[in-house]
C-alpha cells in the first residue's frame, strides 16, 4: 500500500488519521493539563482518568469553557482549588467528584 506522512497536528489511531490539539499534546508530555479553551466536561474527563475518580455533573453545565494550565503533579484538592475561581463548586466524596454551579 501507499505510505502517508503525518503532518503537524495529525495522529494515526484506530486505522484513521485524526486532527490533534498540538498544544494539549505538548502540555500533556510536559506534565501539564492544558485547559485553554477546553469544555468543562472534557477537562473533568481528563481529571477523572488521571486521578482515578468518577465525575458527576449536577445541573446544566453545558458550554462552560475553561482557560489555563495546571500541573499534573498537584494533588486533586489543589487542582480543584485552582478551579474554584470559575464560579463552579466541587465536592469530593471518596472517589466521586460532584460538579455544580
Ranking 44-53, 66-75, 89-98 by mean pLDDT, the lowest is: 66-75
SS (H, E, C) the chain: CCCCCCCCCEEEECCEEEECCHHHHHHHHCCEEECCCEEHHHHHHHHHHHHCCEEEECCCCCCCEECCEEECCCCHHHHHHHHHHHCCEEEEECCEEEEEC
pLDDT score, position 29: 66
Using the predicted structure, report yes or no on whether residue 56 has a pLDDT greater than 90. yes
Report the distance separating Cα 82 and Cα 86, nearest Å: 9
pLDDT band at 44 (very low <50, low <70, confident <90, very high): very high
Residue 18 pLDDT more than 70?
A: yes
pLDDT at 78 (0 to 100): 92
pLDDT at 26: 66
> Residue 16 pLDDT > 80, yes or no?
yes
Domain ranges for the chain: 34-100
Task: Could you please state the CATH topology (level 3) that the domain comprising 34-100 is classified under.
Answer: Phage tail protein beta-alpha-beta fold (3.55.50)
Tell me what pLDDT residue 9 has. 73
- Tell me, what's the pLDDT at 73? 92
Amino acid at each position: 500500500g501507499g505510505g502517508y506522512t503525518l503532518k503537524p497536528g495529525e495522529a494515526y489511531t484506530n486505522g484513521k488519521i485524526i486532527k490533534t490539539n498540538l498544544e494539549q499534546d505538548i502540555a500533556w508530555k510536559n506534565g501539564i493539563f492544558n485547559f485553554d479553551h477546553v469544555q468543562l466536561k472534557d477537562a473533568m474527563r481528563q481529571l477523572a482518568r488521571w486521578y482515578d475518580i468518577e465525575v458527576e455533573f449536577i445541573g446544566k453545565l453545558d458550554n462552560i469553557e475553561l482557560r489555563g494550565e495546571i500541573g499534573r503533579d498537584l494533588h486533586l484538592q489543589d487542582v480543584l482549588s485552582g478551579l474554584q475561581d470559575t464560579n463552579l463548586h466541587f465536592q469530593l466524596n471518596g472517589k466521586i467528584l460532584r460538579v455544580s454551579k
